[in-house]
Amino acid sequence: MKISNIKKEYDKFALNIKSLEITNSVQNTIVGATSCCPNNEQHNIYGIIGANGCGKTTLMKIMAGIIKPDRGTIDNEGLTSRDITMIFRKPYLLHDTVLKNLLYPLKIRNIKPDNNEIEMLLNMAGLENLTNKYALTLSGGEQQKLAMIRAFIFKPKLAFIDEGFSNMDIESVALFEQYIQKTKDTTWVLISHQISAIKRICTNIFFMSKGEIKAKGETIELLNNPQIKELKEYLQYM
Amino acid sequence: MLTLQMTLLSTAMSCVIGIPLGLLLDKARFPGKRIVVLINRTLMAAPPVVIGLVVYLILMRNGPLGFLGWLFTFEAMVLAQTILITPIICGIVYTASQRSASNIRAFAITMGASRLQTQFLLIKELSNEIYFAAIVGFGRAMSEVGAIMIVGGNIRYHTRVMTTTIALLRNRGEINQAIFLGAVLMIIALIIQVIGGFLKRREERTDENI
Say yes or no for a CB contact (<8 Å) between B109 and A65: yes
Q: What is the pLDDT of residue A2?
A: 79
Lowest average pLDDT, out of A16-20, A114-118, A182-186, B30-34, goes to: A16-20
3-state secondary structure of A205: strand
- Average pLDDT score over residue span A8-23: 73
Q: HSE (CB half, 13 Å, CA atoms) of A196? A: 7
**Residues of chain B with C-beta less than 8 angstroms from the C-beta of A95:** 124-125, 127-128, 202
Lowest mean pLDDT among A142-146, A187-191, B202-206: B202-206
Cβ of A168: how many Cβ atoms within 10 Å?
Answer: 20
- Which of A109, A137, A143 faces B205 most closely, judged by CB atoms? A137
For the domain covering B2-160, report its CATH number: 1.10.3720.10
Maximum alpha-carbon separation in chain A: 52
Task: Please report which confidence band the pLDDT of residue A238 belongs to, taking 50, 70 and 90 as the band edges.
Answer: low
Query: How far off is chain B from A159, nearest CA to CA, in Å?
Result: 9
Indicate the average pLDDT of chain A.
84
Instruction: Report, in angstroms and rounded to the nearest whole number, the Rg of chain B calculated over CA atoms.
Output: 20
pLDDT given for residue B199 in this prediction: 65
Residue A10 has a pLDDT of 66
How does the average pLDDT of chain B come out, rounded? Answer: 86
DSSP, collapsed to helix, strand or coil, labels residue A161 as strand
Task: List CB contacts (< 8 A) between B112 and chain A.
Answer: 80-85, 105, 108-109, 154
Domain ranges of chain B: 2-160
Distance CA(A30)–CA(A42), nearest Å, equals: 15
**Are A104 and B111 a contacting pair at CB < 8 A?**
yes
Q: Is the pLDDT of residue B208 over 70?
A: no
Q: Which of A61, A104, A108 to mutate to test the interface with B (most CBs of B within 10 A)?
A: A108
To the nearest whole Å, the CA of B21 is away from the closest chain A CA by: 23
Contact between chains at A109 and B112 (C-beta distance less than 8 A): yes
A104 CB neighbours in chain B (<8 A) are: 111
How far apart are alpha carbons B181 and A67 in whole angstroms? 55
d(CA B110, CA A184): 20
User: Least CA distance to A158: which residue of chain B?
Assistant: B110
**A184 neighbors A43 (Cβ within 8 angstroms):** yes
pLDDT per residue as tens digits for the range B16-44: 999 999 999 998 988 999 999 999 999 99
What local confidence, expressed as pLDDT, does residue B117 receive?
94
Look at B112 and A80 and tell me if their CB atoms are within 8 Å: yes
Chain A positions touching B118 (Cβ under 8 A) are: none
Residues B110-128: tens digit of each pLDDT: 999 999 999 999 999 999 8
pLDDT at B151: 85
pLDDT beyond 60 at A3: yes
Contact B110 A83 (CB under 8 A): no
Judged by a CB distance cut-off of 8 A, whether residue A87 touches chain B is: yes
Q: Which residue has the higher pLDDT, A39 or B90?
A: B90
What is the model's pTM?
0.80
pLDDT tens, position by position, A200-216: 899 999 998 888 888 88
Statement: residue B209 has pLDDT above 50: no
For residue A32, pLDDT beyond 80: no
Phi, psi torsion values for B176, nearest 5 degrees: -60, -45
pLDDT of residue B200: 63
pLDDT at residue number A30? 33
Going by C-alpha positions, the residue among B82, B34, B74 that lies closest to residue B54 is B82
ipTM: 0.84
pLDDT at A86: 93
CA angle B39, B41, B167 (to 5 degrees): 110
